[in-house]
Structure 1
């Protein structure tokens, strides 16, 4: 009973957290400390965590040094991911069983992480959690679904990803060290990890994060209104550049749409206050050929923009919303005559 009450208290505390803009912080010192400790052993985590955080004053900077170190020192192991996915698939319909299995399995992943400095998402999340706790922060491993442009999901799929919630200066944030560390390349050579540190998944806006991260425990989304799992899986494909620009596609909520030829279809976006809306573009792909079109752009409110476009011909179109040359989201639109 006491454990249950504690979990309920923790869940309520997490769900009511208010997110502060962290972009005001200068992380130069924190990142420099992380770089100076590159290659340090995981054999003594308390010492490593102390060395990363001792010379920093704010909670956010201390956690930044931990996050940057993990992302730039641990290799994403695709074979570990495949083994984890196989085990997860066995119990995909048993939510409680999955959570119990994950709690038992994660420390085993950490043993390999220490010896080989490589892991799947479970190991990244566990390491972030352990080092955050050692630094004096409250943290939680989150299990759920991660959706990428090359990995679309349906309701029969098992949970496939893990990330973290972290409490800093009395407020809860989200982060994903796995996706910030780099990417796994699948080509003729075979699966290989390509390091490419990108901090866009360091304490991102939860309203954007929910577009490609869906937690099994909904309160860990940090949102008051959480979409259903089906709504999450039917949403538009989101790219990492959406996080770089801070652009959130809000309407339409589904990726697959129908439109009438020569009638406007609209796309609503939430954008940062200093965003230059004239950089928005649409690129259409039909039959393997890309061509760029310029939509009508209307500012609806201080941070809301509407893109409108009328298709000239019928067919099936991959419709990419772009900022400059970078795709941020994709819809698939079937255009018919009437």
Structure 2
């Protein structure tokens, strides 16, 4: 049974974190050919009671042989059966932003919010990120798979863009075959649509055990040991970097230059955007938003002398633009560009 007092503690971002080992994650667990069986197991127990996590864990994992398969079944079950509660998400987000400079009141809010999250999770299978991370951890531990909750900064189009940042998110680290990986069941399970004011269930593999360097582009832990990388970005570097989306992980493309979200450019002079990809990229679509005007252009991608892929653009007018870079129909990176004479 879920432990009430523990979940209350987990809801507060300031919880104590376990220290990560010095072992770094490998990069291709998604290539495991046996995930079809694990995903099939994950589909067998819809809305199973959360009062018996040990029993659920056994049902999901006993028929599977490897820890990676077992964890995959656990992860997919959580993503399939737990929903991100939109009203809780927005209420908690607004309150934390309002109280971010008042630790005493923020701690009090987290303490009062915890029991509501707990009740909603048990009764309706709805929660916020901490609830997702808790269920993943408990199911994994019942399967004798080491798993931890990681708290920190989640970066989206609506939060943690520049500024001082605010701890607002929780995810998991899991040890498989002696190596640590990162995953985020909340963001894998679907998306929050602010326009429709609802959560849209839409599973994505993007945040299931990706390369730590990619995962860290929009996740920054309070304990930087959980970055699982040799080189660790600072919090300010994280907050001011280009904004990336989960589709960037799907396409395995990462921005390299400019290395910051806010870019300065001169009218009539080309600016080059460089990125890395393990695959051949021939074209990219640029979408430019300036005030109420939106325009798109397809651009040729070429190999830059740095060995990276690159795309050029000349801004014909001064002003401030939001520049989205797309691969196919998918948004992958976003910058803001201030164009002067």
Q: Specify which of 286, 296, 319 is matched with residue 290 of structure 2.
A: 286
Q: Specify which of 253, 265, 269 is matched with residue 271 of structure 2.
A: 265
Give the SS at the match of 1:253: coil
Which residue of the partner structure matches residue 56 of structure 2?
48
Deviation at residue 221 of structure 1 after TM alignment: 1.0
Is the counterpart of residue 209 in structure 1 residue 215 in structure 2? Answer: yes
Indicate conservation of the 8 Å contact 1:297/1:308, yes or no: no
Deviation at residue 332 of structure 1 after TM alignment: 1.2
Q: Specify which of 297, 306, 309 is matched with residue 305 of structure 1.
A: 309
Indicate conservation of the 8 Å contact 1:284/1:293, yes or no: no
Deviation at residue 324 of structure 1 after TM alignment: 1.7
In the superposition, the TM-score normalised over structure 2's length comes to: 0.84
1:175-190 aligned at under 5 Å gives the runs 175-187=183-195
Q: Specify which of 136, 148, 156 is matched with residue 140 of structure 1.
A: 148
Give the SS at the match of 2:206: helix
Distance 1:51 1:115, change over 3 A: same
Deviation at residue 18 of structure 1 after TM alignment: 3.3
Give the SS at the match of 2:210: coil
Aligned counterparts of 2:203 and 2:163: Cα–Cα separation in 1:
31
Which residue of the partner structure matches residue 5 of structure 2?
none
Which residue of the partner structure matches residue 276 of structure 1?
280
Give the SS at the match of 1:165: strand
What 5-or-longer segments of structure 1 have no aligned partner?
Answer: 1-6
Which residue of the partner structure matches residue 158 of structure 2?
150
Is the counterpart of residue 240 in structure 1 residue 240 in structure 2? Answer: no
Deviation at residue 23 of structure 1 after TM alignment: 2.8
Is the counterpart of residue 172 in structure 1 residue 176 in structure 2? Answer: no
Indicate conservation of the 8 Å contact 2:78/2:132, yes or no: yes
Indicate conservation of the 8 Å contact 1:110/1:126, yes or no: no
Which residue of the partner structure matches residue 138 of structure 2?
130
Which residue of the partner structure matches residue 38 of structure 2?
30
Which residue of the partner structure matches residue 63 of structure 1?
71
Aligned counterparts of 2:241 and 2:45: Cα–Cα separation in 1:
40
Give the SS at the match of 1:294: strand
Give the SS at the match of 1:198: coil
CA deviation map 1:156-202 (0-9, x unaligned): 553111111111111111111111111233346xx322211112111
Indicate conservation of the 8 Å contact 2:281/2:301, yes or no: no
What 5-or-longer segments of structure 2 have no aligned partner?
Answer: 1-15
Is the counterpart of residue 332 in structure 1 residue 336 in structure 2? Answer: yes
Aligned counterparts of 2:267 and 2:212: Cα–Cα separation in 1:
36
Aligned counterparts of 2:78 and 2:312: Cα–Cα separation in 1:
42
Aligned counterparts of 2:114 and 2:103: Cα–Cα separation in 1:
16
Which residue of the partner structure matches residue 120 of structure 2?
112
Which residue of the partner structure matches residue 11 of structure 2?
none
Aligned counterparts of 1:42 and 1:66: Cα–Cα separation in 2:
13
Indicate conservation of the 8 Å contact 1:121/1:161, yes or no: yes
